[in-house]
Amino acid sequence: MIPLSSRLLALIPLAVGINLAMGKFAAALSLPLFLDTVGTVLVATLAGPWAAVATGVVSQVAFTVLDGKLMWMAFLPVQLGVALYAGLAARRGAFASPWRAATAGLVLGLIAATLSWPIAFLLFGGVTAGGVTVVTTLLTALGVPLKWAVYGASLSNDLLDKCVTFLLVHVVLISLPKRLSARFPAADLARGRA
């Protein structure tokens, strides 16, 4: 069991709350995005990959419980992949500029889609969340084989979603007041100022 400091114990529930509240913004702006990993990526930049992994696990459990659908636990590997990648990218200064953040986000989109499509295809026959499934259905109607339709739908969503997520976290990091920034030394590494 990873020991958690009081600060991490305080940070993780708030980060999970951010993960689950961001969907409200995406819905209000009619954007085809989840934005459900902003909190996880933020924790990765502030406290490292293992804290992000803990955030990802708690986030997936909370989402499953609050949505009432146990099936979502099957997508836990995607949250873990996002957390580990974001933690490692942050250590390499991926949030130093908007371009670096956008590029790192696109790579994460590719990873997330690659992790999620076998789960969506093999376990759920290509039927998962609303928006992605609509794209899958449209591609299937156009004659695209199901496995490629599922991958195409995941990729189209994840590339934009993770790119916007990384850009948002970049903006948060450069907006971080010095008083807050001093509490999380890893943030400087993510911003390339270490």
Partner 1 sequence: MTLGYRPGTGVLHRAHPFTVLALAGTVAVLAFTLSAPLGPMLLTAGLVAIAVAARVSRTLLTALAFAAPFWVFLVLIHVVFGDSPDRAVTVGSQISAVLVVFLMTLAAVHPGRLVDALLERGVPFHVAYLLVATLQSVPELQRRASAILDAQRCRGLRVRGSVWGRVRSVVPLAVPLVLGALGEVDDRALALEARGAASGLRRTPLDPPHDRLAERVTRWALLGSVLGTIAWRIVA
Contact yes or no for 96/192 (Cβ under 8 A): yes
Smallest gap, in angstroms, from Cβ of residue 141 to partner 1? Answer: 5
Residue 155 CA: distances (Å) to CA of 9, 102, 159, 163 = 33, 15, 6, 12
21 binds partner 1 per the rule CB under 8 A:
yes
∠ at Cα 18 (134, 106), nearest 5°? 55
Smallest gap from Cβ 58 to partner 1, in A, equals 5
According to CB under 8 A, which one of 44, 51, 58, 115 is a site residue for partner 1? 58
Smallest gap from residue 59 Cβ to partner 1 (A) = 8
Does 190 interact with partner 1 (rule: CB under 8 A)? no
139/68 Cα distance (integer angstroms): 28
Please identify, among the stretches 53-61, 75-83, 94-102, 105-113, the one whose residues bind partner 1 according to the rule CB under 8 A.
53-61
Give the number of residues in contact with partner 1, rule: CB under 8 A: 62
Using CB under 8 A as the binding rule, whether residue 53 contacts partner 1 is answered as: no
- Residue span binding partner 1 (CB under 8 A) among the ranges 75-83, 88-96, 109-117, 171-179: 171-179
| 146 lies in the binding site for partner 1 (CB under 8 A) | yes
176 binds partner 1 (CB under 8 A): yes
Please identify which residue in the block is written with the tokens 């990959």: 49
Sign of CA dihedral 133, 29, 99, 96: negative
Q: Any idea which residue has 């299937």 for tokens?
A: 140
Phi, psi of 5 (to 5 degrees): -75, 165
Binding flag, residue 65, partner 1 (CB under 8 A): yes
**Contact between 178 and partner 1 (CB under 8 A)?**
no
Which residue is associated with the tokens 């590719």? Answer: 110
User: What percent of the residues of the chain are helix, what percent strand, and what percent coil, each to the nearest 5?
Assistant: 80, 0, 20
- Looking at the Cβ atoms of 106 and 127, the one nearer to partner 1 is 127
Q: Residue 126: how many CB atoms within 10 A of its CB?
A: 22
Q: Which residues bind partner 1 (CB under 8 A)?
A: 1, 3-7, 9-18, 20-22, 24-26, 28-31, 35, 38, 42, 54, 58-59, 61-62, 64-66, 68-71, 123-127, 130, 133, 136-137, 140-141, 146, 164, 168, 171-172, 175-177, 180, 183
